[in-house]
Amino acid sequence: MGWRLSKFNVVSMVFGFSFLYLPIVLLVVYSFNASRLVTVWSGFSTVWYRELWNNRGLLDAAWVTLRVGVLSASVATVLGTMAAIALARYKRFTGRTLMTGMVYAPLVMPEVITGLSLLLFFVAVDFDRGFWTVTLAHISFTMCFVTVVVQSRLISFDRSLEDAAMDLGATPTVTFFQITLPLIWPAVAAGWMLAFTLSLDDLVIASFTTGPGATTLPMKIYSQVRLGVTPEINAVCTILIAIVSVGVVIATLLNKRRLVRQARNERLAAEG
């Protein structure tokens, strides 16, 4: 493609990016609004953030969400990475087609159906619903996203290092931890981040699989949004956006540093 931007290119990008960002910017701006009316600006204030601090229900929900997120993302990353190795390194095993299907189907399955099926399962096996059922449900649907991310890294990967390690007598387990894992680490970390955000974000599956005492933040936000837009919700959302933005920026910077170091090492190797 040529690198000269026409007026049309600039206009379509400005339009596209404004469309993507304007709603979020407005939401953040109005979380600092002094008025309770969300759409009338009446001066800067942090009153809703203080209000939030006293809202036990929201804080409890945030704590539940955070615990579910960290726990489910961690287990999902382990399971998802295993599935990725299975699919990328073992081309023939009984049930490979079934496993591929089970990894890809949840990615396109409507959340309502995933939620419904897990709930019916928990009812059928008589498992008490609450924190653990939400966590199990989140592990199951996020691990497939981890698999896709890690698998794409495993495929575009110089396998001669693994070969060398095993030629020198390392077992597959040692090879994995000494060679493969350090090399695919960025993809594993990205998978964890993705699983964590998906868990943090999920309303539908959590609503189906939850039980007493395990109300997550999206469920809390949803029930309040149905009653109308309130500045407290704007404030919660702003905090979540801030956390995610900081996380993404840090991840990007770390990744960039890694790429720079890698480029330097490759240059040194080429020179030497």
Interaction of residue 56 with other proteins, rule CB under 8 A: no
Q: How far is the CB of 36 from other proteins (least distance, A)?
A: 13
CA-CA-CA-CA torsion sign (135, 139, 141, 146): positive
Using CB under 8 A as the binding rule, the residues of this chain from 114 to 153 that contact other proteins are 114, 116-118, 120-121, 123-124, 136-137, 139-140, 143-144, 147
Tokens standing for residue 197: 């955000």
The reply on whether position 63 binds other proteins by CB under 8 A is no
Give the binding range for other proteins (CB under 8 A) out of 7-15, 50-58, 149-157, 183-191.
7-15
Query: Minimum distance between the CB of residue 110 and other proteins, rounded to whole angstroms?
Result: 2
Nearest residue (CB) to other proteins, 243 versus 261:
243
112 counts as binding other proteins under rule CB under 8 A:
yes
Q: Is 60 in the site for other proteins (CB under 8 A)?
A: no
| 80 is a site residue for other proteins (CB under 8 A) | yes
Token digits of residue 98: 């079934």
- Our finding on whether 222 is near other proteins (CB under 8 A) is yes
User: CB atoms < 10 A from the CB of 184, how many?
Assistant: 22
d(CA 232, CA 45) in angstroms, rounded, equals 12
Label residues 20-51 b or e (16+ Cβ within 10 Å = b): eeeeeeebeebbbbeeeebeeeeeeeeebbee
**Part in contact with other proteins (CB under 8 A); list of ranges 51-59, 149-157, 164-172, 183-191:** 164-172
CB-CB neighbours of 197 under 10 Å = 17
For the segment 12-41, give every residue that binds other proteins (CB under 8 A): 12-13, 15-17, 19-21, 23-24, 26-27, 30, 38-39
* C-alpha separations of 226 from 61, 158, 166, 216, 264 in Å: 17, 52, 58, 16, 54
SS3 44: strand
58 forms part of the interface with other proteins (CB under 8 A): no
Phi, psi of 107 (to 5 degrees): -65, -35
Closest CA to 209 of 110, 136, 141, 144: 136
Q: Give per-residue burial for 186-196: e unless 16+ CB within 10 Å, then b.
A: bbbebbbbbbb
| Contact mark string toward other proteins, 225..244, x via CB under 8 A | xx--x---x---x--xx--x
Decide whether 213 or 247 has the Cβ nearer to other proteins. Answer: 247
Residues 6+ apart with CB under 8 A from 161: 179, 183
- Residue placing its CB nearer to other proteins in the complex, 50 or 96: 96
Q: Which stretch binds other proteins (CB under 8 A): 48-56, 148-156, 181-189, 222-230?
A: 222-230
Contact status: 189 vs other proteins (CB under 8 A): no
Among 47, 66, 70, 166, binds other proteins (CB under 8 A): 166
Residue 16: CB minimum distance to other proteins, A: 3
For other proteins (CB under 8 A), the number of binding residues is: 93
Q: Is 44 in the site for other proteins (CB under 8 A)?
A: no
